Structure 1
Amino acid sequence: MDRDRARLSDLNAHLLCVLCGGYYIDATTICECLHSFCRSCIVKHLETSKFCPICDVQLHKSKPLLSIRPDTTLQRLVYKVVPGLFQRELQRRRQFYTNPESPDFHRDIARLAKYQSFSPEDSFSLSIEYYNSARTNAEDKAQGGNSAESAAGK
């Protein structure tokens, strides 16, 4: 095995929420210290505390929820690395919302849709092409110069 390649078991510790011990669901990061948690876990924690559960940095004193942001990059990574997690979470949410006409159901499904990834059973086609930046720059100049040079000359 290549030395530079990370093992999944090494990466696993960085994909777990310290509050619930599970994989991140709706990964959310504290802006002040950049520690991440499941959204439901950190929101529940902030009901009783205004400090990060890991490093004790103080969040916004009166409105601590202003100090957290969704971390879509981390959530996409979790869904790609953990097989079947996205499908299981989607199924759990469908079961939770017994009334599919609920506005919360549609909001959560729409939020989850942006994390859509391929399941292990899906097949897809991939095409890789060579990109020649020198040729592209020459074509831009032949067409009257590129936009960066035109903007700099004004």
Structure 2
Amino acid sequence: MPDLEDLYREIILDHYRNPRNRGELDTPPAVRAEGFNPLCGDEVIIYVRLANGVVDDIKFGGQGCSISQASSSMMSAIVKGRTTDELHRLNRAFKSMMSIEPDPDDPAPVNGNGADIKLGDLEALKGVVKFPVRIKCATLSWHTLIQAVEEAQTTG
């Protein structure tokens, strides 16, 4: 399926070159969390502001490869305006797509393999599973987001 792979490549490059939600939010009221991948040097900073259990706003910063930065952009676009339960379901569905065993303590489990959840542009990253070392690049922003949300819920 070369045409589909080309489309996915273009989606990844678009998010890398024209990132959505890049920037910073004032802390507080937003929470800031940092993630780092020592294997390749990717660094992601997530700023998230929750309001009544909803991702009111999200921004990201950092530096790294096209996969980590595009994944951060895609992740920020799909979770904005979602409830924390939806966010956790998206996280589990994305990790399932990335062939990572989801956290059994996740408060919002996905039934089956998460195929019932639409991941939008994030589906362009499914080819990353062919390169296991790059999976950490794709999931770094999700790990960092969950850390930020957990902090926001304990301090808010």
Q: Which has the higher contact order (CA 8 A, sep 6+)?
A: 2
Q: In which range does the TM-score fall when normalised by the shorter chain?
A: under 0.3
Q: Which has more radius of gyration?
A: 1
Higher strand share: 2
User: What TM-score results when the alignment is normalised by the length of structure 2?
Assistant: 0.26
User: What TM-score results when the alignment is normalised by the length of structure 1?
Assistant: 0.26
Higher helix share: 2
